[in-house]
Amino acid sequence: MRVLVTGAAGFIGFHVARTLMARGDAVTGFDNVNDYYDVGLKEARLAELGALAAAGGDWRFLRADLADRAAVDAAFAEPFERVIHLAAQAGVRYSLENPMAYVASNLVGFTHVLEACRRAGTPHLTFASTSSVYGASTAMPFEESQDAGHPLQFYAATKRANELMAHAYAHLYRLPCTGLRFFTVYGPWGRPDMAPMVFARAIRDGTPLRLFNAGRHSRDFTYIDDIVDGVIRASDRIAAPDPAWDPGAPDPASSEAPFRLYNIGNSAPVELADFIAALERELGRPAVTELLPLQPGDVPDTWADSTRLAEATGWRPAVPVAEGVRRFVAWYRDYGDRDYGDPDTPGLR
């Protein structure tokens, strides 16, 4: 198939593009390669994709910004059988500092993608959402039928808005849309502002790990290979109207329109202390910790109920945290042990 992957220089987008090429799809990547974190890591990912293309993969790359409508429209001059939209301004804490970056990328950029898909008659749009949309809810495990109307930061608000915008297009224009709520993705080639890379660097250097909420977090850490498998399975299964949908008792995760929302998480939350202990074992060094108060916008715990995705696509997470950390540290020793930026606070999205 011809597939557009936005955010192809990013962590998840890179892995998705690589896997699609490996199965024989013609992949077009779209990314502005911004400097939210070290551009060197993004360029290294793109070099890996370029090497796959040189070895026979079908790949082309468009360096452009989603907020540039003309650039998005130009990308759709070639019809795509699937669009996998993974580009976004990421980061929970950064949204407290620079909310306009989230408006440009997550709201304006997503509108441009929706419009381009509508005009092109794209058969299926799959897009990234986040577990952060559950916000103030403490009813766990998080399930897609729950209310998601109380986000705790602007990042989560923009991603929830994406879900609502996609439903409107699915309803008005019958554009099939599937949203995936990611739960704390980790693994090789990960973002340097996310906890695994920050923690690994600190353990390596013997510098303090800054643990907010005194480290009393739990997260549904989900390994990148499992995420990619779920993204591609969801993309392959075109969203369709739910014949059982009841407007008198509406299910927010489905619709009379061709629309679906799915959690995609390991469904096995891990205490942050246990995740750090796994890193310590693999790195062979103890962590030094600094306990700090809960940060504004942080969600203490996450736990995914991914039953709906499993039932719809057959997806099951296959990599437990201990094995995922082992694979991540193996990559980190060979490649990731470079100072890609130096964020002083980890993200746990």
Q: Is the pLDDT of residue 178 over 80?
A: yes
Domain boundaries, position 19? 2-185+223-266+304-317
What kind and span of H or E run contains 323?
Answer: helix 321-331
186 assigned to active site: no
Average pLDDT over residues 49-57: 96
CA atoms of 340 and 36, how far apart (whole Å): 11
Residue 242 neighbours by CB distance under 10 Å: 16
Q: At a CB cut-off of 8 Å and minimum separation 6, what does 141 contact? A: 267, 303, 304, 305
CA atoms of 275 and 286, how far apart (whole Å): 13
List, for residues 106-142, the tens digit of each pLDDT value.
999 999 999 999 999 999 999 999 999 999 998 989 9
Determine, yes or no, domain membership for 59.
yes
- Asked whether 111 and 68 are in contact (CB, 8 A), the reply is no
List, for residues 151-164, the tens digit of each pLDDT value.
999 999 999 999 99
User: Which is the catalytic residue, given 155, 169, 332, 340?
Assistant: 155
Q: Is the pLDDT of residue 343 over 70?
A: no
CA atoms of 349 and 342, how far apart (whole Å): 18
Determine, yes or no, domain membership for 340.
no
> What pLDDT, on the 0 to 100 scale, is given for residue 238?
98
DSSP 50-73: HHHHHTT-EEEEEE--TT-HHHHH
Show the CA angle centred on residue 78, arms to residues 73 and 83, nearest 5°: 75
- Asked whether 90 and 349 are in contact (CB, 8 A), the reply is yes
- Asked whether 212 and 296 are in contact (CB, 8 A), the reply is no
> What pLDDT, on the 0 to 100 scale, is given for residue 346?
44
Q: Is the pLDDT of residue 248 over 60?
A: yes
If one compares 127 and 335, the residue with the highest pLDDT of the two is: 127
Determine, yes or no, domain membership for 66.
yes
Determine, yes or no, domain membership for 155.
yes
Average pLDDT over residues 260-288: 94
> What pLDDT, on the 0 to 100 scale, is given for residue 340?
53
Question: Mean of the per-residue pLDDT values for the chain?
Answer: 93
List, for residues 7-31, the tens digit of each pLDDT value.
999 999 999 999 999 999 999 999 9
> What pLDDT, on the 0 to 100 scale, is given for residue 114?
98
Average pLDDT over residues 210-228: 87
For residue 344, give the DSSP letter.
Answer: S
**How much of the chain exceeds pLDDT 90, in percent?**
82
Determine, yes or no, domain membership for 194.
no
For residue 111, give the DSSP letter.
Answer: H
DSSP 14-61: HHHHHHHHHTT-EEEEEE---SSS-HHHHHHHHHHHHHHHHTT-EEEE
Q: Is the pLDDT of residue 195 over 90?
A: no
Average pLDDT over residues 302-330: 97
> What pLDDT, on the 0 to 100 scale, is given for residue 297?
63
pLDDT band at 337 (very low <50, low <70, confident <90, very high): low
Average pLDDT over residues 266-293: 91
Determine, yes or no, domain membership for 209.
no
Determine, yes or no, domain membership for 335.
no
Average pLDDT over residues 212-222: 82
Number of domains forming the structure of the chain: 1
Q: At a CB cut-off of 8 Å and minimum separation 6, what does 333 contact? A: none
> What pLDDT, on the 0 to 100 scale, is given for residue 348?
42
This prediction has a pTM of: 0.94
Residue 234's CATH number: 3.40.50.720
pLDDT band at 46 (very low <50, low <70, confident <90, very high): very high
Q: Is the pLDDT of residue 331 over 90?
A: yes
Q: Is the pLDDT of residue 234 over 80?
A: yes
Q: Is the pLDDT of residue 237 over 90?
A: yes
Determine, yes or no, domain membership for 274.
no
